[in-house]
Copies of this chain bind each other. A is one copy, B any other.
Amino acid sequence: MDEIIIGVDIGGTSTKFGLVDPFGHILAEGTMPTDVYHDVDLFLEYLKKEIDVLLARKEYRVKAMGIGAPNGNFYTGTIEFAPNLPWKGVIPLAAKAEKLFGVPVKLTNDANAAAQGEMIYGNARGMKNFIMITLGTGVGSGIVVNGAMVYGHDGFAGELGHTIVDPEGRMCGCGRKGCLETYASAGGIKRTVFELLAQEHIKSALRAKSYYDLTAKDISIAARNGDPIALKAFDMTGKLLALKMSDAVAHTSPEAFILFGGLSGAGDFLMDPLKKYFEEFLLPVYRNKIKILFSGLQDKNIAVLGAAALAFSE
CB within 8 Å of B: which residues of A? Answer: 71, 80-81, 128-129, 143, 145-146, 148, 150-160, 162-164, 167, 174-176, 243, 246-248, 250-255, 281, 283-286, 289-290
CB distance from A215 to the nearest CB of B (A): 27
A146, A174, A254 — which one has the most chain B CB atoms within 10 A of its CB?
A146
> Residues of B contacting A253 with CB < 8 Å?
150-158
Judge whether B152 and A252 touch: CB under 8 Å: yes
Residue of B nearest to A161 (CB): B250
Cα separation A248 to B247 with both chains bound (whole Å): 9
Task: Tell me the dominant secondary structure on chain A's binding face.
Answer: loop
Cα separation A13 to B250 with both chains bound (whole Å): 25
CB distance from A221 to the nearest CB of B (A): 30
| Tally of this chain's copies | 2
Cα separation A217 to B159 with both chains bound (whole Å): 37
Known: A81-B285, A157-B252, A285-B80. Contact between A243 and B151, CB under 8 A?
A: no
A243, A247, A250, A290 — which one has the most chain B CB atoms within 10 A of its CB?
A250
Judge whether A254 and B152 touch: CB under 8 Å: yes
Known: A148-B146, A167-B281, A252-B252. Contact between A154 and B247, CB under 8 A?
A: no
